[in-house]
Structure 1
């Protein structure tokens, strides 16, 4: 990530924002299994492995190729996990991101059918290799999609955390499960984010969960109540402390999820009118960002909202 002038439009495409992911998409699209094996073997951070897995899962039509590879190499976990991710993505595309009351019975039936297929593949991998991070990570997603409940989702996360205690992508998935929209509570969601932040080593991604849970809480409120929430002194302090331990710490290692983390910090401070606090995150982002939070601001498209708040932060912060 490099600084960009305030007049530049942001880049939201994850394959452009984090170019190594484009390689994963190309290899999956060209059905190059040996290339994919080498690609994943060269990744040295669990966050990047998870991002690459999700990128392959997003590759339209890759399920046919991945199923053939899984049949060809029945003892290998990677093809089954990638196929499972593709099935999860297809199922979620059918369901859409709408709240449950806006999803039809047919959509739910197809969604659950895809997730159950993915579950069978992941159960096999977890039984064979109990420390295989990608499989447990994806099972935190299927647990939520299949409505298996808070306890089962937490059990799956705990199995992963026993071997990979600061797996940020899995922490993000469990955080979603703990929010009220998935039958959780704000008390549970905030407690989990804070516990991950406190346990994390300096410079890791995990404290950025604090910014994400504050965004989730803000998005559940209306109008002035939402803005007032982000302006609370305790929310400000928790954001500053989390940023100091994660994305603004000297030991922080920029990567795919770092872009999203900086975005949530920049968003929260910007909406609260704290330009000085937002500025370092906008400087770190440059012209790259996560589109998601900016979509929630009324009356503006994401690019316009990002550009407006970046200009205010860099001009006055």
Structure 2
């Protein structure tokens, strides 16, 4: 009965009933066709999860709550400029930017991801590039990445039970095309690890068994043993929710962290995955013991690394959970108004999670 539901849940039910009536279908039919994001949007805003007197975060030099946004946006001026030129159908700037990243593999992965996402929405400029420069390894690389984005658009973000047979068939068919494109890109530039990063995404989508996945992984690390984007993707593969286990996930994160300081944040990602499945991990000795090195990396050599913004979100959470509040506030100073890190969104309300963690940091920090 409705009266047994909490106030927020009642409001959500009424909102669903109203929307179903507007569409002329039942509530069950409505929930079957709506995406998780659309269903979440039917819920009233969640009040901050922080329990206690909410501090005035501006006293610590942080932007007010009203300015915090979950909108995903690029801060890289070069990528922004290429997005604008590609929208006009021009490909030369994209080709030049990607070519400039040769040998700086983490940045090349970032640029390729941005170009692939843009091409998935409108590939006129990419088709012009491939026509003007047949056999260009950069164009082949972006083509492979764009096909992965297209495949997931076709599949949609719905749970598998709500994805039609036709969608799944198209999804796998496009991923096969993406695999062919990635192999083409690798053949054109054999030393480039980036096509193999794309292959890791394809392997996830095509549900590779562990042995198959490891063969792809071997090709990647042979070209760049410390590739950050590849390690982040691979960690997800070894998570229990995909094709691994808690033991394999932690083993992978620990092995990666031992390779390089820029891979140490994988321990924080593993902790967050564990916590999300109700396994306490933020104060795990593997996490607590790595925090000093991670913070030093973020504030030093890794300050401008492509993964740093996302890593600061994990670091802020880990520092709060380990009682290192002043250092957590410092991470929030770097994050500013940006609550678009993937970690915040796991709860279903990224902004509320960001604000609650920020309140906790300030509440425990030294008073300004």
Please state which band the TM-score falls in when normalised by the shorter chain: 0.7 to 0.9
Task: Report the equivalent of 1:31.
Answer: 89
1:288 alignment partner, one of 338, 341, 344: 338
Do structure 1's residue 246 and structure 2's residue 294 form an aligned pair? no
1:260 alignment partner, one of 291, 296, 310: 310
- 1:124 and 1:236 map into 2 onto residues whose CA distance is 40
Question: How many Å apart are 1:199 and its aligned residue?
Answer: 0.8
Alignment CA distance shift 1:81-1:236 (3 Å): closer
Question: How many Å apart are 1:277 and its aligned residue?
Answer: 5.1
- 2:98 and 2:186 map into 1 onto residues whose CA distance is 19
Alignment CA distance shift 1:237-1:54 (3 Å): same
Note the 1:84-163 alignment, pairs <5 A: 84-163=144-223
- 2:219 and 2:160 map into 1 onto residues whose CA distance is 28
- 1:149 and 1:93 map into 2 onto residues whose CA distance is 24
Note the 1:1-317 alignment, pairs <5 A: 4-7=62-65, 9-43=67-101, 45-59=104-118, 60-200=120-260, 202=261, 205-221=262-278, 226=279, 229-234=280-285, 236-241=287-292, 243-244=294-295, 246-248=297-299, 250-270=300-320, 275-276=325-326, 278-297=328-347, 301-317=349-365
Question: Matched residue of 1:255: which SS?
Answer: coil
- RMSD (Å), alpha carbons: 2.6
Question: How many Å apart are 1:186 and its aligned residue?
Answer: 1.4
Question: How many Å apart are 1:107 and its aligned residue?
Answer: 2.1
- 1:31 and 1:46 map into 2 onto residues whose CA distance is 26
TM-score by length of 1: 0.84
Question: How many Å apart are 1:123 and its aligned residue?
Answer: 0.9
Give unpaired runs (5+ residues) of structure 2.
Answer: 1-60
Structure number, greater radius of gyration: 2
- 2:324 and 2:154 map into 1 onto residues whose CA distance is 39
Alignment CA distance shift 1:93-1:120 (3 Å): same
Q: Deviations over 1:141-198 (max 9, x none)?
A: 1011111222222222221222212111111111111112222111111111111111
Question: Matched residue of 1:243: which SS?
Answer: helix
Alignment CA distance shift 1:308-1:141 (3 Å): same
Question: How many Å apart are 1:64 and its aligned residue?
Answer: 3.8
Q: Deviations over 1:107-150 (max 9, x none)?
A: 22111111111111111222332211221110111011111222
Q: Is the 8 A contact 1:137 1:170 kept in 2?
A: yes
- 2:162 and 2:317 map into 1 onto residues whose CA distance is 28
Q: Give the number of equivalent residue pairs.
A: 303
Ranges of 4+ aligned residues in structure 1 off by more than 6 Å:
none
- 2:117 and 2:351 map into 1 onto residues whose CA distance is 23
Question: Matched residue of 1:230: which SS?
Answer: coil
- 2:212 and 2:132 map into 1 onto residues whose CA distance is 32
Give unpaired runs (5+ residues) of structure 1.
Answer: none
Q: Deviations over 1:245-299 (max 9, x none)?
A: 6324x3223233110111122234446776345333223322334342222236x
Alignment CA distance shift 1:27-1:260 (3 Å): same
Q: Deviations over 1:218-239 (max 9, x none)?
A: 2233xxxx4xx03544254145
Higher mean C-alpha displacement, 81-90 vs 37-46: 37-46
Question: Matched residue of 1:180: which SS?
Answer: coil
- 1:307 and 1:96 map into 2 onto residues whose CA distance is 29
TM-score by length of 2: 0.74
Higher mean C-alpha displacement, 43-52 vs 255-264: 43-52
Q: Is the 8 A contact 1:210 1:242 kept in 2?
A: no
Alignment CA distance shift 1:168-1:99 (3 Å): farther
- 1:46 and 1:11 map into 2 onto residues whose CA distance is 30
